[in-house]
Structure 1
């Protein structure tokens, strides 16, 4: 996910990635990566081998994900 985002021109240190494993050790249903671009977040999601891209507003924290993990 990070490689796809950086290949698209987003800086690696700006890319946030969701967890790829649950707290109980199971694989997640979907993984997301996001990066702020001006006042928007470019969000990519992979679920069941399908890719979806969304553009949403940046959070007040300046991050794209709640908690702002990178």
Structure 2
């Protein structure tokens, strides 16, 4: 996953939702399992960072791209089964 996100960040330092989704599927995650944060704010501004996550067993693998830099985290799956609070609501 890191490899795909670093490749994306190098070519697009501020990727959009569809680019993040594509990178995650290229990393081997099923599209239906991937959660991606919004790429614009409710007021129409670009976000500072975009995140994508997918559950693996009882953990979420989370990747963030901010200004061409990639950060990764592993956190527990939320009680509702999602990685992001409010995702899909």
Shorter-chain TM-score bucket reads over 0.9
The aligned counterpart of 1:23 is 42
TM-score (ref. length: structure 2): 0.74
Give the unaligned 5+ runs of structure 2. 1-19
Correspondent of 2:73 among 25, 35, 54: 54
- Give the count of matched residue pairs: 69
Higher helix share: 2
Give the RMSD, CA atoms, in angstroms: 0.8
Give the unaligned 5+ runs of structure 1. none
TM-score (ref. length: structure 1): 0.93
The aligned counterpart of 1:2 is 21
Higher strand share: 1
